[in-house]
Amino acid sequence: MEFFIITSFSKDISKIDLIGIFLGHVIFAIALTQLLDWTWLKNLMSEKDKTRMLKSYTWKDLLVDGAIVAVVLGIILLITSIFYK
């Protein structure tokens, strides 16, 4: 039932509205990142642990990170394709 609500809503939204929503989220994310205090991240690991972790980072980890980014990007594009018919 919720799918039909989304599809009927997609007929009322324009391309400019969708771009505005997306840009609003990006601006909000950047502003929130700048406003939050990130100094606590330095205390999560010691320098020795950071060095050990970075040295053990392999191409497989990079592949997994790339796959996660691809899935998130795919979900975003899927959602935008629903609204852009």
Mean predicted confidence (pLDDT) in 52-64: 88
Kindly report the average pLDDT of the chain as a whole number: 81
- The predicted pLDDT at position 9 comes to 58
Give the chain's count of helices (H) and strands (E).
Answer: 4, 0
- The predicted pLDDT at position 45 comes to 84
Cβ contact 79:13 at 8 Å: no
The amino acid occupying position 5 is I
pTM over 0.75: no
CA angle 49, 54, 61 (to 5 degrees): 125
User: Domain segments of the chain: what residues?
Assistant: 2-83
Cβ contact 45:53 at 8 Å: yes
pLDDT in tens, 28-40: 989 988 888 878 7
